[in-house]
Amino acid sequence: MLKEVIATRYITPLREGGSLPGLVEADDLGTYVMKFTGAGQGRKTLVAEVVCGELARRLGLRVPALVTVDLDPVLGLGEPDQEVQGLLKGSGGLNLGMDFLSRAIGFDPLAFTVGPAEAGRIVWFDALVNNVDRSWRNPNLLMRQGELWLIDHGATMIWQHNWPGAEASAARPYDARDHALAPFGPDVAGAAAELAPLVTEELLAEVTAAIPDAWLTGEPGFAGPDELRRAYARPLLARAADIHERIRGVESGENNESTGRGE
């Protein structure tokens, strides 16, 4: 289970995020980037954040700590922006918070260098969860004290939006041509050898157990939250076995052209 905190102050919207996340303070004195159930794809985006964030952490990748944030809509009454006020009012109850990484800066593939081993682990992980939002245009990576951190995993596991076609969707290759780390010679084979054996039924059961029941109830075609948790785990277990063989776009220098490196 994720730690639960209560939002005590809404600080400001973070407009660089498509879903309009906000910066909040909580009763544990922590500062969090909060994503709302009332935004975009709603709770499915938050489920993806939990599954990918907790899985990445257990695989040794750096991701901000996740918490659930209990939001009282009254916090939005003083917000002058009508869009933000509506978002706060429509997201009462349990939302998702990510630890705010102070002094972190956005990763620029033209300004920073990443080793093949670390690049390979991140590309392999993104292929596993089918992350379509780690491109050179929008890396969703932060640099902090010389370390690379992964953020924003809402645009992953697209099969969750069409469960009847989940198996076929999860069997597709992963196109890494526009991946932010494609130019760094990612060692995908080495990453697969290291990480794939770690992705077991037991690990995925542990990861999916962190999803709050409130975000899983009422999904058509499922008897309850636990059955849906198993549905999230199955495609990931299947992909872990061989997704490294179906990653496209990291085999050669063709990525330098697509990422703009060398211009």
> Does residue 205 register a pLDDT over 70?
yes
> What is the residue extent of each domain of the chain?
3-99, 105-259
Tokens of residue 262, six digits: 């060398």
| pLDDT per residue as tens digits for the range 107-118 | 998 899 999 999
Tokens of residue 208, six digits: 């999916």
- Mean residue pLDDT across the chain: 92
Q: How confident is the model at residue 261 (pLDDT cuts 50, 70, 90)?
A: very low
Nearest one of 129, 115, 147, 135 to 55, comparing CA atoms: 129
Strands 147-150 and 141-144: antiparallel
CA dihedral 146, 197, 3, 12 (to 10 degrees): 40
The structure's pTM equals: 0.92
Q: Work out the percent of the chain whose per-residue pLDDT is above 90.
A: 81
> Does residue 11 register a pLDDT over 50?
yes
Q: CA 263 to CA 150: how far, in whole Å? A: 26
Q: Work out the percent of the chain whose per-residue pLDDT is above 70.
A: 94
pLDDT at residue 208, as a whole number? 98
145-149 long-range Cβ contacts below 8 angstroms, 24+ apart: 145/103, 147/62, 148/62, 148/107, 148/114, 148/118, 148/122, 149/62, 149/63, 149/64, 149/101, 149/104
C-beta of residue 129 within 8 angstroms of C-beta of residue 201: no
| pLDDT per residue as tens digits for the range 113-172 | 999 999 999 999 999 999 999 999 999 999 999 999 999 999 999 999 999 999 999 999
Q: CA 36 to CA 155: how far, in whole Å? A: 15
Q: CA 228 to CA 2: how far, in whole Å? A: 18
pLDDT at residue 128, as a whole number? 98
> How far lies 163's CA from each of 41, 128, 226, 231, in Å?
15, 17, 15, 8
> Does residue 199 register a pLDDT over 70?
yes
Q: CA 111 to CA 193: how far, in whole Å? A: 29
C-beta of residue 100 within 8 angstroms of C-beta of residue 33: yes
> Does residue 260 register a pLDDT over 60?
no
What is the per-residue DSSP string for 31-66? EEEEE-TTSTTTHHHHHHHHHHHHHHHHTT-----E
**Region 208-233 average pLDDT:** 97
> Does residue 17 register a pLDDT over 70?
no
More confident residue, 263 or 57: 57
Tokens of residue 179, six digits: 């991946």
| pLDDT per residue as tens digits for the range 78-106 | 778 888 888 999 999 999 999 999 999 99
pLDDT at residue 82, as a whole number? 86
Tokens of residue 14, six digits: 């973070």
More confident residue, 131 or 255: 131
Where does residue 206 rank: exposed (0-12), middle (13-18), buried (19+ CB within 10 A)?
A: middle
Q: Which residues contact 197 (CB under 8 A, 6 or more apart)?
A: none
> Does residue 262 register a pLDDT over 90?
no
